[in-house]
Structures are given as structure tokens and as C-alpha cells.
Amino acid sequence: MATTDVGWIDAGTRPRPLVDRLQDWVTTVDHKRLGILYVGYGLLFLVIGGIEATILRLQLVRPHNGFVSPQVFNQMFTMHGTTMIFFVAMPLVFGFANYLVPLMIGARDMAFPRLNAFSFWLTAFSGLFLYFSFVGGFGLYGAGTAPDVGWFAYAPLTSKTFSPGHSTDYWTLALLVSGFGSIGTAINIIATIASMRCPGMTLGKMPLLVWLNLVMASLVILAVSPLTAAQIMLLVDRYLGGHFFDTQAGGSAVLWMHFFWVFGHPEVYVLVLPAFAFASEIIPVFSRKAMFGYPVMVAATVAIGFISMSVWAHHMFTVGMTSAGNTFFVLTTMAIAVPTGIKIFNWLATMWGGKIYFKAPMLFCIAFLFQFLIAGLTGVMMSSAPFDWQLGNSYFVVAHFHYVIVGGILFCIFAAFYYWYPKVTGRMYSEALAKLHFWLFVIGFHLTFDSMHVPGLLGMPRRIYTYEPGRGWDTWNFLTTVGVVFQAAGVLAFVFNLVRSYVRGRPAGNDPWDAWTLEWSTTSPPPEYNYATVPVVKSRRPLWDLKHPEDPDWKYE
Amino acid sequence: MSPTSIFAPLSTPAESIFELSILVLAIAAAIFLVVAALLVYSVVKFRRKRNDDGREPAQVYGSLQVELAWTITPVIIVLVLFLASARVVFAVQDAPRTKDSLEVTVVGHQFWWEYRYPGLKVVTANELHVPVGTRTFLNLLSADTDHSFWVPRLAGKTDLIPNHPNGTWIEPRETGLYLGQCAQYCGTQHAKMLLRVYVDSREDFDRWARQQAAAARDDGRVAGGRRVFEQTACINCHTVSGTAANGRFGPDLTHLMSRGTLGAGVVSNTPENLRAWIRRPDDFKPGSLMPPMGLSESQLDAVTAYLSTLQ
């Protein structure tokens, strides 16, 4: 299509008309372009979700603040959560998977290119649809427009009785449609990995990123399907007189909780496994060592996949399950700490004895290790059901999962941006700006989310638009809000860097990091067909073998 | 000192949780120190040196012994944490009722709390009174959406879910006022669904219960206000025993003036605040389900005077 092979008649003299080039993007089925579309879309919504978070934090900067009304506040936290999970994290994760998986397995595209485009556009339109609620919907008691039932939309608040109008419909339909998009992409990723690997790439020789995305995609199918089913049930309740979740007619609010969290917890691993995937590619390259314990990393990933399907009700320790039921979910939840811990140790062992280069991708990965360690430990604290009776639904939980999603996942995504930016654009980013981004974001992150733990320990529940003075929450909330300024500045530096380097960055070459996986063997940006000849691999690090013919990996694997 | 700190428990279940939480925190802190130290050490020790020769370091692909070590150690830690947690789960959740334990039914409403003492024939709202040193079992129900009862110094939180009866209990050690608030998002005014629990001495509690069980005071001097009250929609939602008002949608007002606050803890219960609340509840609690009744100034004065006699 557009980038490399068309226009040989008068290449460089007359660019094709803008309309044609836009049409190329809209009609593309190229996995790289769809990957870029996914990522661009995720970044756009990252900014929108960030603005919503800023509004929340401005309202909470001091007790009894009047920056926004309770109705607006409730819409903002609902939209912030829904946006960040479904229209930022998921598209970013899918975008990177789309772009990288075929390249890393030596394929020329995904298994189902048109399904790929279809899935992306489903996601894209569902996000736009959700935001259309700001002009098209009505909220609780006709008070609002955008959905205001919280991102996990507990029944019966979503019933017609408590949520008349259409705001909840926008929420449920947006998630229904994006759910189909997610399932489509997940099927595509699995099929691609199963059937499109280049000669020599057995399962045991796939890059870890590919393994982790395989498990991620399997989890998407298992987790998003029940959520999608639950949306249909909710619509049946709202419009066809169903009573699944209608507690006034014998329905069960707890049933919705089970449906939501059997999605919701595996979803955390859907997002975090790709983050682990980035770390598992970046840490070895910048430590100049092979990944320590590759088979164990694969096993731990698969174990996380299985265990993650059995932990969901730890979100429900306070809903009155039996003591035996609670105890079961304590055990499964704590058990998942073991494979996760193994991963952290393996990354540390990879750095051990290496020569660590502190480029931006590695800096973000090191911060990720530190922050994910803390996030994991606060997670273990809450897996202890009695402790969770105090911590659950407090600001401690909010701090914990932002530590996971921002401190863990987003840091790895930033690392991935810098690591693969030269491959995708053919240009090098500015290292100075990237380091500025890193330090601003680290400071902002810790100011915001370290402080946020404390009010939770002091009894502050989540989702309150204002709070009483004199409970020891004021200072911590103030600090939390101050951190937003640094994070916003960091994101500004990041976006500026992406844009500026695209125009002014120096050419990056095929392999700027002296890396070892297949994508670095083709040009930057890769041609539409990825590889002129299909590569053949003999080990997990084909480019290492090429660069070190005297001591190739396949001798040891 | 925060009046809602989970680290200052004064009641049996909260204390059991506190003891467990110290163990969990200690283990988590120890793990953090070890792993963070390893991370810092490797970052400092294995950074690329200025005079690096550019050669690749020795490639190490893994070690089964090492992997086993860092698998088995976490497994043991997890087992310890699990057993410690399970013990507290069973001890707190399955605690038996004692002979002198008190039963209170708590009904969550958008956005206030209803308390019913079946044995004592007491119905009140927003301010729970319990005797010190006694196990009080709270039967948790909801009239509309999900809520959660959370007074951190007394017990962990338990949700109130419609069509799904729950229970929890407290056993306070010291008299005093304990604060908390709804901990499950329940709609527009979730933030101002505050909890106040008064732990009284046995004598004070008995006196309070006797007073609450009595009929409403009927003061002839405020008959005009009572007439306005009874002729307005107030009675559809509120109860004042001995009058035509027997609504159950809003708080029982029979002994309104015995409570310290209005609107589920939003503002102190003074005649001025009461009048302002009746005029426009949204001024204190936008989104509250009590509508402004459109009373004239004189009607407002009369109703306020009447309600102020409901001791």
C-alpha cells in the first residue's frame, strides 16, 4: 500500500493526495497499520481519561470542595475507569500485540487481516459511542448525561428504577461492542501464533513476548465472554423485562458481581501480561544477557493464566460469602503471588552479572520492577480476607490498583514505546526528553499514588465526591493532587517527543539496540510484507546467533 | 489521630483484624526489604562502567536450583499467611451469639441508615446506639441499592445488598462516638451517607432505649406546626408515632431531636439547620431524595417549631 511500494513513477516529487492516504488508513488490513491505529487511539483516550482524573483530583484537593457537583464527579470516575481500562489499556495492549507478534514470529501479517480491521473498528466506534453519552444520555434521576454507575456498574444501580434514561445503555452497549472487538483480536492473536510461525520457531523458541501475548489472548476469550454475556443480560433486564439482576423482582445483585469480576480479575492479567512481555524483551537487551530461566518464565505465565481464572471473588470478600468460600479465594489469590514472584526474581537474575545500559526503556523497566514489587505486596495484604474487610473499597485499593496499572503496566508501555519507536518510525527519539519524561513521571507517580494509600488506612472510602475535615485525610489528598501536575507534565514531554522525533529524529537504522529478536533484522519501518524472505530460526535469539556465529544460542537451548 | 483509623481498633473484630494485619505487614515489609535491596544492588553493581570494553557479559540461561529456591520460599510464606488469615476469617465470620447479645437490623437507604431494635421496639435513623462490652449483631438489609457498613475502629466492612441479607457484629471496649461511612457506591450522595455509632454505658443505653421506645411528645403549643406537617407530603415518607405520619421511605422522626445530626451526619441538628434543611435539602446534600416542599416562611417556622419538640 502507501508507504514503500507504491508511486514508483514519480516517487518523492508529488505526494499522493491526503484523501487517498487517509483512505489507506481507514481501509488498511496491514497488522502494522492497525497496530499503530490501536496505539494512537489508546493514546488519544489516555489524554481524555487523564483529564477526567485531573477533574477528580481537583475536586478532592481539600475537604468540602465545590469544584464539580456530585453528579459530575460520579460521571467522571465512571468514565475515567471505563475509558482507562477498555479504551486505553486494551487498545494499547492490542496495538503492540498486533504490531509486534507477526514481526517477532517471522510472519507477514496476522492470520485474519480483515477480522483484525473489523475488531479495531468495533473498538474504535464503541469508544466514540460511549462518549456520545455526554450529549445523548440521561443519568441517575435524570441528573446527568454520561454514565454514573461506576466502572463495575453494580446491580441494581444499573436497573431502570435507579438509572432511568439512557446513560447506562451507552455504557453497556459500548462494552458489549468493544467486547466483540476484543474477542475478535484475541482469536486472531491465538491463530496467528498457532499457525504463522516461521520455520524453526517451535513453541519453545518463541520470544517471551509472543508467549505472554498467547496467554493474554486466551484470557481475553475466557474473561471478556462472560462480561459480554452479562451486558446482554443487563439489556434484557432493562428492556425486555428480565430479572437477572433486578433485586426488586427476586433477581441477584451478587450474580452481577460474579459476572463482572470473573471478567474483572483475569482482565488485570490481560493487561499485565503484555507489560511483563515488554519487560521480558527489554531487560535482557539492556542488560546484555539472555533471559534467565526462559522455560520457568513460560511456566509461570501459564500458571498465572490458570490461577487468574480462580481468584475473582477476592473482590467480593465483603459481600457476605461463607467463611469457607472466603477462605478458598484467600488461598487462590495468595497462590498467584508465587508465579508472579518467580517472574520478578528471573528479571533480577537477568540483570545480575549483566552490563546494564540506562536508556529510557530500561529506566522505565527498572521503575516498573520496583513499583510492581510494592503493588504485589499490597495485593498480598488485601488477599488476606480479614485485612480486606478494612482495606476493600477504600482509597488503599484505589492506590493499589493504580500502582499495578500505572506503576506496573503503564511504565512498561512507556518502555515499549521508546524501545520500538525507532523500529516503527525509523527515527530515534530524543533520549534527553525521554529521561525528562521518566523523572517527571516517577516523581508524579510516587507523589500521587504513595500518598493515596494513607487515607484508605485512615478510613476513606473510594468514590466519594467530598469528605469531612478532621479525619487525617486532608494532607494526603492534597499531595495526591499535586502529583498530577508532574504526571501531566511527563505525558506532555512524552507526546512532544513522539511528535518531534517523528519529524526531526535522526534515522535509527535497523537495529539501534543491538537486539536479538527477528523484528530488528528488517528495515525500520518494516516494509508492508515485513520480510523479503521468510526467516529461519534455530534459537530464541536468532540475531544473537547471527552476530555471534562462534557461540550461538542453539548450542545451549 | 484519625477517628477512623483501622490501626486504632476498639472492638473485638477490628482488633482481630488489626493483629492479623500487623503480621501481614511485617512479612510484606520483610519481602520488600530483601527484594528491593537485590534490585538496588544489581542496578548499582551491574551498571555498564565508563571504561567498559564493549564485550558481551557471560550468557547465563538459568539454573534449576535457584528457580526451586525462589519457588519454595514463597510457597511457604503463602501457606503461613493463608493459615493465619483463615483462622481470623472463621473466628470473625462464625462468631457465636452470646446470651446477652443485642440484635439490630440495619437497613441501608439512598442515602441514610435505618436502625431497628426488634427486641426493644425502637426505630431510629443515622445514629446507632449500642451498649459497651456487649456483642451487637447487625443484620444488614438494603431497601434499594448496594451499601456497605464501615466503622473502621469497630469492625471491617460488610455490604448491605438488596435481596441478600448479610450480617456483622461489633463488641466495643470503650464508650464514645465512632465514625464511619457508606463504603459501597450507592448513587449520587454516596459521599454523604455518614455513620455515627454511639457506644453507651449500659445505664445510658437502657435510658436511651426507654426514651426511644416511648411515643412522640405531643405539645399543644406547636399544634399549628403539627397540622402543617400532617397536611404536607412529609407524612408519605416519615413516621412520627402517634400521628398520621407513618411513611417508611425517609428516616423516622419520632425522636428527631435526640439525634446530633441531620441528613445522615451531614450537618449538626440545630433549629436553624433543621429549617434550612426542610426548605431545601439540596443545599446540604444535592441529589438527596427529599424534595423541597415549597413551604411558605411561616409554614417553615411552624414545622421547625413542631419538629423541635420531638425529643
Task: Give me the pLDDT at residue A143, please.
Answer: 44
Task: Give me the pLDDT at residue A549, please.
Answer: 93
Strand, helix or coil at A28? Answer: coil
pLDDT in tens, B109-142: 999 999 999 999 999 999 999 999 999 999 999 9
Question: Which chain A residue's Cα is nearest to B5?
Answer: A458
A247–B162: do the CB atoms touch at under 8 Å? yes
Query: Over chain A, what is the mean pLDDT?
Result: 94
Question: Which chain A residue's Cα is nearest to B161?
Answer: A253
Burial status of residue B177 (CB atoms within 10 A of its CB: 0-12, 13-18, 19 or more): exposed
A253–B163: do the CB atoms touch at under 8 Å? yes
pLDDT in tens, B234-264: 999 999 998 999 999 999 999 999 999 999 9
**Alpha helix segments (H runs only) across B2-48:** 12-45
Query: Over chain B, what is the mean pLDDT?
Result: 96
pLDDT in tens, A186-204: 999 999 999 999 999 999 9
Picking from A341, A348, A457, the nearest residue to B7 by CB comes out as: A457
Strand, helix or coil at B198? Answer: strand
Picking from B21, B31, B159, the nearest residue to A318 by CB comes out as: B159
Supply the angle between the helices A360-383 and A323-335 in degrees, to the nearest 10.
160
Tell me which residue of A133, A159, A157, A127 sits closest to A147, measured CA to CA: A133
Task: Give me the pLDDT at residue A8, please.
Answer: 47
In Å, how far is A80's CA from the nearest CA of chain B?
Answer: 15
CA distance A545 to A538: 8
Q: Where does B220-308 sit in CATH, by number?
A: 2.60.40.420
Tell me which residue of B234, B274, B281 sits closest to B256, measured CA to CA: B274
With contacts defined as CB-CB under 8 Å, which chain B residues touch A328?
none
**Is the entire prediction scored with pTM above 0.90?**
yes
A387–B7: do the CB atoms touch at under 8 Å? no
Task: Give me the pLDDT at residue A3, please.
Answer: 46
Q: Domain residue spans in chain B?
A: 1-42+64-196, 220-308
- A13 grid coordinates: 516529487
Give yes or no for a contact between B133 and B168, defined as CB atoms under 8 angstroms apart. no
Strand, helix or coil at B78? Answer: helix
Sheet with B122-125: list strands edge to edge. Answer: B122-125, B112-117, B102-109, B136-142, B166-170
Task: Give me the pLDDT at residue A137, please.
Answer: 62
Q: Mean pLDDT across the stretch A134-143?
A: 60
A323–B93: do the CB atoms touch at under 8 Å? yes
B183–A381: do the CB atoms touch at under 8 Å? no
A464–B144: do the CB atoms touch at under 8 Å? no
A140–B191: do the CB atoms touch at under 8 Å? no
pLDDT in tens, A400-434: 999 999 999 999 999 999 999 999 999 999 999 99
Picking from B35, B71, B84, the nearest residue to A342 by CB comes out as: B71
Task: Give me the pLDDT at residue A164, please.
Answer: 86
φ, ψ for residue A387, nearest 5 deg: -65, -35
B92–A386: do the CB atoms touch at under 8 Å? yes
Chosen from B18, B142, B147, B190 to mutate, greatest number of chain A CBs within 10 A: B190
With contacts defined as CB-CB under 8 Å, which chain A residues touch B36?
370, 373
Chosen from B44, B56, B177 to mutate, greatest number of chain A CBs within 10 A: B56
Q: Mean pLDDT across the stretch B92-115?
A: 96
Count CB atoms within 10 A of the CB of residue B302. 20
- From the DSSP assignment, how many helices (H) and strands (E) are in chain A? 18, 0
Q: A-B interface: how many C-beta pairs under 8 angstroms? A: 284
In Å, how far is A276's CA from the nearest CA of chain B?
Answer: 17
Angle at A167 between CA A233 and CA A91, to 5 degrees: 75
In Å, how far is B110's CA from the nearest CA of chain A?
Answer: 10
CA distance B27 to A350: 26
**Alpha helix segments (H runs only) across A2-69:** 18-27, 31-59
Picking from A323, A386, A458, the nearest residue to B16 by CB comes out as: A386
The fold of the B1-42+64-196 domain, in CATH, is Immunoglobulin-like (2.60.40)
With contacts defined as CB-CB under 8 Å, which chain B residues touch A343?
none
Q: Mean pLDDT across the stretch A207-235?
A: 97
CA distance A70 to B166: 29
**Can you list the domains of chain A with their CATH numbers?**
18-555 (1.20.210.10)
- A21 grid coordinates: 492516504
Tell me which residue of A371, A354, A355 sits closest to A414, measured CA to CA: A371
**β-strands B136-142, B158-160: how paired?**
unpaired
Question: Which chain A residue's Cα is nearest to B3?
Answer: A471
pLDDT in tens, B158-175: 999 999 999 999 999 999
CA distance B309 to B255: 9
Q: How confident is the model at residue A2 (pLDDT cuts 50, 70, 90)?
A: very low
In Å, how far is A250's CA from the nearest CA of chain B?
Answer: 7
The percentage of residues in chain A with a pLDDT greater than 90, rounded to a whole number, is 92
Task: Give me the pLDDT at residue A142, please.
Answer: 46
Q: Scanning the structure block, which residue is given the C-alpha cell 520492577?
A: A369
In Å, how far is A420's CA from the nearest CA of chain B?
Answer: 22
Is the complex ipTM more than 0.90? yes
In Å, how far is B266's CA from the nearest CA of chain A?
Answer: 9
The percentage of residues in chain B with a pLDDT greater than 90, rounded to a whole number, is 95
Cα of A44 vs its chain's centroid, Å: 14
Strand, helix or coil at B136? Answer: strand
**Alpha helix segments (H runs only) across chain B:** 12-45, 64-93, 202-213, 223-231, 234-237, 271-279, 297-308
- A514 grid coordinates: 543491538
Of the candidate ranges A6-15, A510-519, B48-57, B265-274, the one whose mean pLDDT is the lowest? A6-15
pLDDT in tens, A470-513: 999 999 999 999 999 999 999 999 999 999 999 999 999 999 99
Task: Give me the pLDDT at residue A13, please.
Answer: 60
Fold: same for B1-42+64-196 and B220-308 = yes
Cis? peptide before A156, omega within 30° of 0: yes
With contacts defined as CB-CB under 8 Å, which chain B residues touch A320?
140, 158-159, 161, 164, 166-167
B84–A384: do the CB atoms touch at under 8 Å? yes
B6–A157: do the CB atoms touch at under 8 Å? no
In Å, how far is B14's CA from the nearest CA of chain A?
Answer: 8
Contacts of B294 (CB under 8 A, 6+ apart): none
With contacts defined as CB-CB under 8 Å, which chain A residues touch B93?
322-323, 326
**Alpha helix segments (H runs only) across A240-293:** 253-287
With contacts defined as CB-CB under 8 Å, which chain A residues touch B163?
247-248, 250-253
Q: Mean pLDDT across the stretch B93-110?
A: 95
Task: Give me the pLDDT at residue B1, please.
Answer: 82
Task: Give me the pLDDT at residue A228, please.
Answer: 96
